[in-house]
Amino acid sequence: MKLYTLYIGHNNSTLKRFKEAKINKIISKYFIGYTIQKVTGYYEGIKEESFKVEIITNNDQKVDNLKSFLVGELQQESILKTTALLDIEF
């Protein structure tokens, strides 16, 4: 399994964090389980109220599709994605 983390910056027009309900509505169309946290990030020295989204899956393409959709829907320049291999036990 892999842990994908997406970092979604603020709205480029208003400089405010997107509504969590909007982010949840989009992600829930792709995945039934994920974690979302409100975080503060910095880009080029500018503070951004952002979201950190964590998804555990082996479906690389589905994560990439979600990321591409989020970039377009939220009119983002980019969304940072990181990937880590996991050793999971239940």
HSE of 82 in the Cβ direction (CA atoms, 13 Å)? Answer: 8
pLDDT band at 90 (very low <50, low <70, confident <90, very high): confident
| Domain-wise residue ranges, the chain | 2-85
pLDDT in tens, 42-67: 888 988 999 999 999 999 999 999 99
User: Do 53 and 8 contact (CB within 8 A), yes or no?
Assistant: yes
Which pTM does this prediction carry?
Answer: 0.92
Six token digits for residue 1: 């399994």
Instruction: Identify which of 72, 59, 74 has the alpha carbon closest to the alpha carbon of residue 22.
Output: 74
Instruction: Identify which of 1, 3, 11, 2 has the alpha carbon closest to the alpha carbon of residue 73.
Output: 11
Instruction: Report the share of the chain in percent with pLDDT over 70.
Output: 100
Residue range 2-85, CATH number: 3.30.70.120
